[in-house]
Structure 1
Amino acid sequence: MYVLGIDGGGTKTKGVISNSKGEILAEATVGATNPNSVAKPDLELELAKLIETLYLHNRELFPQIKRVFAGMSGVDHITARKGMEQVISKVLPNSIPVTVHNDAITALYSGTFGKPGIVQIGGTGSITFGLNKDGNLERVGGWGYLLGEKGSGYALGSQGLEAAFSAYDGLGSRTELTRLFQDHFNVEKLPDIIHSIYQAKNQKERIASLSKLVVEAADTGDSVSQKIIENNASYIGKAIVCLINRLFSSMEEVVPVVLTGGLFNRLDLFQGGMEQEFQLHGRKVKLIKPKIEPVGGAVVAALLEENMAINEEFMRSK
């Protein structure tokens, strides 16, 4: 049996065809498919390209595909999910059952292989998402950068800029971030970066990209940057605890927490602050860095939709 898994986001969209053992037989990557940031005609075009590329890779597989599962950003509301299901069905060469869900579920399954748990996404944006054994789904955060979105690359970049300008105005502590921002934008004075920030085609992405400079400054011992990271790590820990308390009643249960997104490439900077919150609230957590991509989680979800067991052989094949 074969399934098609899709992981769609605001930057790129990846699709793979897999068998029941988790072996990838075809894969393709196209552009963004978040309906909140991509016009519907462009979204349909990207999904059509994805399906066509997969189809041309192995035409014989498509009649044997039993399920499509797509984890997509920007489809939190049921109406958006149904609309996305219709778009995907429209571009498929065969009539195949399609399920669309928030991309957080596929990120979770990339670490738990279909088991309950929490996923903390810390990329350009952030969200804490959980699933318990009763099938209850809950979330904390993920409300967009205009409403804060702490624990994200955007939060680090934004707070780093705020700290640098506060220091420039004489209202805050001196910070290595001032020099790093000036060097990054190749300017002599900090205010000269304003045009590059406000005129950016995608301000959120531009500011989020500056998070690496906050990390760089923290590595050099910059106390301002270290405090920014400490505060965001604490927030992430609190968000995870909040969701665990909603979904997992037993204080003795060890809850798997899957960490995905670029922020956790430097887990060493965030883990201490997160674990302080776990200990403070008496919750037992097992942190997991996934060994497969989120699109692999979409494959897991598709197989579960077809009542296929995710066994040890599947997990070892990853």
Structure 2
Amino acid sequence: MPYVIGIDGGGTKTKAVLLDETGKVYAVSKAGPSNPTAVPSEQLKTTLQCILVGLQLQAPNEYKQVKAGFAGMSGAGDAVSRSHLKKIFFDLTEGRFPIWVDIDAINALYAGTLGKPGILQIAGTGAITYGLNKEGECERVGGWGYLFDDQGSGYHISVKALSAVMQAYDGRGKATLLTKLLIERFSITEVPELISAIYRSDNSKTVIASLSPVVLLAAEQKDEVANHILSEAAEDLALSIMTLHKKLFGNAVHQKVILTGGFIQHSPLVVSSLKALFLSKGYAFDFQFPRIDPAGGSAIAALHYLNEMPKIEFVSNFHASINTVEEGGVS
């Protein structure tokens, strides 16, 4: 029975699991950020050492039998960063077992497809579309940052909402519930005060991106402007998905698309619009949310590298055992 380690490394936190191919989790370890482009090298090494030691302390017998690991890491998109991370993992494991490193889109995809090909659409603060076909070819579309091209993201729709409110205030645009909701959100009295409220914040990008729930709330209350913004977001995401689909899967009619990210996972209107757009063009795309968390997706990637596939009971075992372990029990 192969034991593997799955690591999900991000800009705010890192999580690792130790499990077998049936999905049974034996240990869970968490630590701080591990994005190599944002964290100093020594801090990065300490963080990764912390998560591996945590797994070893919780499940020493299983840790001794680990065959491989996979780390899906934010910031690992270039060869230099991947090489740096691989060197750190090699030193920490003393080369006893390999830990493969790649971008975090892979483990996010596998968290939904369980190791099979497909398309991943991330739409949170930012947006990026990633895909992997059966030949092992991968592609990405979008995700070029909020200053260049981040259409369909929480940030992008929030900017559109602010613009709509300003235009409504001037009389250049339609009246919208977004005005009332944003005034309440910032505890101000007039629309122009939005400018100072945002520009004087510590991180205007984060503040703006956090406004996407306001757009969703206005849309739920049948606000025409908010609904139009979300419809455009669905069209933007559909274009990215279709562009990537053609690159990797040609004219295939059926495709699994995993949707993840705070914005898309809390926006049933955007999801339903996406489905309708593809159905209208004759595509039978299967839109799903992830079935396990990204660290579990990384573990599946590790199994993949060992030419193993997760067993049919993987998902149910994963959820049952990870809850037990995280609550402090024994899996």
Structure 2-normalised TM-score?
Answer: 0.88
Q: 1:94 Cα deviation (Å)?
A: 6.3
The one-letter code of the counterpart of 2:156 is A
The one-letter code of the counterpart of 1:153 is G
Paired with 2:155 and 2:138, the residues of 1 have a C-alpha distance of 25
1:117 aligned residue: 118
Correspondences of 1:150-229 after superposition (within 5 Å): 150-229=151-230
Q: 1:234 Cα deviation (Å)?
A: 0.9
The one-letter code of the counterpart of 1:230 is S
Paired with 1:287 and 1:156, the residues of 2 have a C-alpha distance of 21
The one-letter code of the counterpart of 2:202 is K
Higher relative contact order (CA 8 A, sep 6+): 2
* 1:86/1:191 CA distance change after superposition, 3 Å: farther
Paired with 1:2 and 1:202, the residues of 2 have a C-alpha distance of 42
1:270 aligned residue: 270
SS in 2 for 1:61: helix
Paired with 1:296 and 1:306, the residues of 2 have a C-alpha distance of 16
2:128 pairs with 1:127? yes
Paired with 2:107 and 2:126, the residues of 1 have a C-alpha distance of 16
Paired with 2:93 and 2:202, the residues of 1 have a C-alpha distance of 32
Q: 1:280 Cα deviation (Å)?
A: 4.6
Q: 1:292 Cα deviation (Å)?
A: 0.8
* Partners of 1:7 and 1:103 within 8 A in 2: yes
* 1:57/1:191 CA distance change after superposition, 3 Å: farther
* Partners of 1:9 and 1:34 within 8 A in 2: yes
1:314 aligned residue: 314
Paired with 1:164 and 1:18, the residues of 2 have a C-alpha distance of 50
Runs of 5+ unmatched residues, structure 2: 319-331
Residues 141-183 of structure 1, C-alpha deviations (whole Å, 9 max, x = no match): 1111111311211112222122222222333222211221221
* 1:31/1:198 CA distance change after superposition, 3 Å: farther
The one-letter code of the counterpart of 2:211 is L
* 1:192/1:3 CA distance change after superposition, 3 Å: same
CA RMSD of aligned residues (A): 2.0
1:284 aligned residue: 284
Q: 1:215 Cα deviation (Å)?
A: 0.5
Q: 1:106 Cα deviation (Å)?
A: 0.7
* Partners of 2:143 and 2:149 within 8 A in 1: no
* Partners of 1:241 and 1:281 within 8 A in 2: no
SS in 2 for 1:212: helix
The one-letter code of the counterpart of 1:279 is L
* Partners of 2:216 and 2:267 within 8 A in 1: no
* 1:178/1:42 CA distance change after superposition, 3 Å: farther
Runs of 5+ unmatched residues, structure 1: none
* 1:287/1:35 CA distance change after superposition, 3 Å: same
Correspondences of 1:77-156 after superposition (within 5 Å): 77-92=78-93, 95-156=96-157
The one-letter code of the counterpart of 1:101 is D
Q: Which moved more, 1:118-127 or 1:190-199?
A: 190-199
Q: 1:246 Cα deviation (Å)?
A: 1.3
The one-letter code of the counterpart of 1:269 is L
SS in 2 for 1:301: helix
Q: 1:70 Cα deviation (Å)?
A: 0.7
Structure 1-normalised TM-score?
Answer: 0.92
SS in 2 for 1:146: coil
Q: 1:75 Cα deviation (Å)?
A: 1.5
Paired with 2:160 and 2:49, the residues of 1 have a C-alpha distance of 39
Paired with 2:159 and 2:31, the residues of 1 have a C-alpha distance of 29
* Partners of 2:259 and 2:265 within 8 A in 1: no
Paired with 1:37 and 1:163, the residues of 2 have a C-alpha distance of 34
Paired with 2:205 and 2:298, the residues of 1 have a C-alpha distance of 27
SS in 2 for 1:26: strand
